[in-house]
């Protein structure tokens, strides 16, 4: 049972005790990603979701995969009025390859301007 942990400079190196991605056999588990540090950081939840999906797409590409290889996503949202925009962005990104998904309301994220966070599981 091989477990490998990997960080990617292009995603900004972690400043806390976490790893961008952990590969266990034929599965990649990601940490939570947000628009923090991107141009979308203070933008709408939909724009933040696009930025976050772009990061997940980059990460998948490092393993030779795409968003079509998503098995499961968990989306954390701070404001229920943002849900339509948060749903719109993945609809475009996933196409017909919709993963299993959970949507969780939270009181807040680590930075007050963040409205959405996503973590993902990819199959290899």
Predicted local distance difference test score (pLDDT) of residue 92: 84
59, pLDDT greater than 80: yes
Q: 124 falls in which pLDDT band (50, 70, 90)?
A: confident
Residue 32: count other Cβ atoms within 10 Å of its Cβ. Answer: 16
Predicted local distance difference test score (pLDDT) of residue 21: 98
Per the CB < 8 A criterion, the answer to whether 35 and 89 are in contact is no
Q: 1 falls in which pLDDT band (50, 70, 90)?
A: confident
Show the 3-state SS of the chain.
CCEEEECCHHHCCCCCCCCCEEEECCEEEECCECCCCCCCCCCCHHHHHHHHHHHHHHHHHCCCCCHHHEEEEEEEECCHHHHHHHHHHHHHHHCCCCCEEEEEECCCCCCCCCCEEEEEEEEC
Instruction: List pLDDT tens digits, range 68-117.
Output: 999 999 999 999 999 999 999 998 899 899 999 999 999 999 999 999 99
The residue among 19, 1, 25 whose CA lies nearest residue 123 is 25
């Amino acid at each position: 049972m091989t477990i490998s942990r990997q960080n990617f400079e292009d995603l900004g190196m972690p400043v806390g005790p976490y790893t961008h991605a952990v590969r266990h056999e034929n599965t990649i588990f990601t940490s939570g990603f947000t628009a923090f540090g991107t141009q979308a950081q203070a933008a709408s939840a939909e724009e933040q979701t696009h930025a976050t999906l772009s990061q997940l797409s980059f990460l998948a590409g490092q393993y030779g995969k795409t968003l079509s290889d998503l098995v499961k996503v968990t989306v954390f949202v701070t404001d229920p009025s943002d849900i339509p925009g948060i749903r719109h962005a993945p609809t475009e990104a996933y196409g017909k390859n919709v993963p299993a998904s959970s949507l969780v309301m939270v009181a807040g994220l680590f930075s007050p301007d963040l409205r959405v966070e996503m973590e993902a599981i990819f199959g290899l």
